[in-house]
């Protein structure tokens, strides 16, 4: 691949374009998002994610981690952007930026009850607001073999730099679906398996629930929990005991505990 001269100016249009991917408005307009680091970018291209831009440290084009990314970029018709470390830092808004930053194409999916050997598990998140929580949940969903996350209602953007960072690459491994609350209620009504909600006033203990078969695990908003409309869409609502003085668990922790309980039931050691 013929490489352009290294970019040295923050006024460069490509630098500005990549920097703008911190803004949701611009991610929506372009359909792109940023991922950082050779490991995560390499995994993404090996999974077939489309790479539009690769910003990397000038002079590292023959690095064994960078070369395959440049090849993938050529395959995808993307543009290579060698640049200085300080410009990589400007784009990632970090003092110690990674050697490569990739701009990938977003991809949303539709949850399918037939995937996951006919017994898929999806995590549905009602109006999740915190990108760190969402990224952590994608990472845990990936670790526990879930198909992906369904973002219900007005949620934080799964493709924000913060969510992608917190997912540690899982954003490329799990499906991401989006729907409004009414559409979710309709979807849950036709789902061939259980929908298990999690809420603090619930009377059944999470250890006693039936996690077998196609499963949707529904988690509530960080501040207000699950609204009645979504509770009514569930077959069962479970709680995790709170023995101390705190009134609830952090959303990502609650999701992790429930996902690992589901894993224990669905895939015994
Ligand atoms: N004040 C909120 C409420 O009353 O539901 C707290 C929300 S909590 C921070 C976020 C979500 O995590 C909840 O909606 C629920 O899905 C889940 N969650 C947290 N702790 C839980 C627990 N002990 N049992 C069941 N779900 C829990």
**How many whole angstroms from 125 Cα to the centroid of ligand 1?**
12
> What's the CATH number where 46 sits?
3.30.1330.30
The answer on 148 and 98 residing in a single domain is no
The answer on 179 and 96 residing in a single domain is no
User: How does DSSP assign 240-257, residue by residue?
Assistant: ----SS-S---HHHHHHH
Range of the domain at 21: 13-105
Q: Is 253 in the pocket of ligand 1 (CB under 6 A)?
A: no
The answer on 76 and 27 residing in a single domain is yes
**Which residue shows structure tokens 């930026």?**
97
What is the distance, to the nearest Å, from the Cα of residue 220 to the centroid of all Cα atoms in its chain? 17
The answer on 142 and 78 residing in a single domain is no
Please list the pLDDT of the chain residue by residue as tens digits (269 residues).
789 999 999 999 999 999 999 999 999 999 999 999 999 999 999 999 999 999 999 999 999 999 999 999 999 999 999 999 999 999 999 999 999 999 999 999 999 877 767 799 999 999 999 999 999 999 999 999 999 999 999 999 999 999 999 999 999 999 999 999 999 999 999 999 999 999 998 889 999 999 999 999 999 999 999 999 999 999 999 999 999 999 999 999 999 999 999 999 999 88
- Global confidence as pTM: 0.96
- Asked if the structure places residue 5 within a domain, the reply is no
- The per-residue b/e assignment along 163-188, b for 16 or more CB within 10 angstroms, e otherwise, is bbbbbebbbbbbbbbbbeeeebbebb
Percent of the chain with pLDDT over 90: 94
The answer on 191 and 222 residing in a single domain is yes
- Mutating to test ligand 1, I would choose from 223, 248, 259 the residue with most ligand atoms within 8 A of its C-beta, which is 248
Protein residue closest via CA to atom 9 of ligand 1: 222
Q: Is 220 in the pocket of ligand 1 (CB under 6 A)?
A: yes
The answer on 125 and 94 residing in a single domain is no
Average pLDDT of the chain to the nearest whole number: 96
Task: List, for residues 178-226, the tens digit of each pLDDT value.
Answer: 999 999 999 999 999 999 999 998 889 999 999 999 999 999 999 999 9
The answer on 230 and 162 residing in a single domain is yes
**How many whole angstroms from 225 Cα to the centroid of ligand 1?**
6
Asked which of 75, 105, 135 is the last residue of a domain, the reply is 105
Q: Which two tokens stand for residue 110?
A: 């539709």
The answer on 32 and 96 residing in a single domain is yes
Q: Which two tokens stand for residue 144?
A: 């526990």
| Domain count for the chain | 2
> What's the CATH number where 212 sits?
3.40.1280.10
């Amino acid at each position: 691949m013929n490489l352009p001269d290294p970019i040295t100016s923050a006024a460069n249009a490509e630098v500005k374009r990549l920097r703008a991917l911190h803004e949701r408005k611009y991610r929506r307009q372009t359909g792109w998002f940023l991922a950082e680091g050779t490991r995560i970018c390499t995994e993404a291209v090996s999974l077939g994610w489309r790479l539009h831009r690769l910003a990397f440290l000038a002079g590292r084009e023959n690095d064994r981690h960078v070369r395959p990314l440049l090849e993938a970029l050529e395959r995808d018709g993307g543009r290579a952007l060698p640049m200085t470390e300080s410009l990589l830092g400007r784009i990632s808004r970090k003092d110690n930026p990674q050697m490569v930053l990739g701009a990938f194409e977003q991809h949303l999916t539709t949850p399918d009850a037939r995937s996951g050997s006919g017994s898929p598990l999806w995590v549905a998140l009602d109006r999740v607001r915190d990108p760190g929580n969402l990224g952590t949940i994608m990472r845990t969903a990936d670790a526990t073999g879930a198909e992906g996350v369904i973002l219900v209602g007005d949620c934080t953007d799964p493709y924000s730099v913060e969510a992608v960072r917190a997912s540690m690459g899982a954003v490329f491994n799990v499906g991401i679906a989006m729907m409004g609350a009414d559409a979710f209620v309709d979807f849950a009504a036709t789902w061939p398996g259980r929908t298990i909600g999690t809420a603090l006033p619930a009377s059944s203990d999470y250890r006693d629930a039936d996690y077998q078969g196609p499963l949707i695990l529904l988690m509530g908003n960080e501040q207000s929990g699950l609204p009645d409309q979504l509770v009514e869409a569930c077959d069962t609502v479970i709680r995790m005991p709170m023995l101390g003085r705190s009134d609830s668990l952090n959303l990502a922790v609650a999701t992790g505990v429930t996902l690992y309980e589901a894993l224990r039931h669905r895939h015994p050691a």
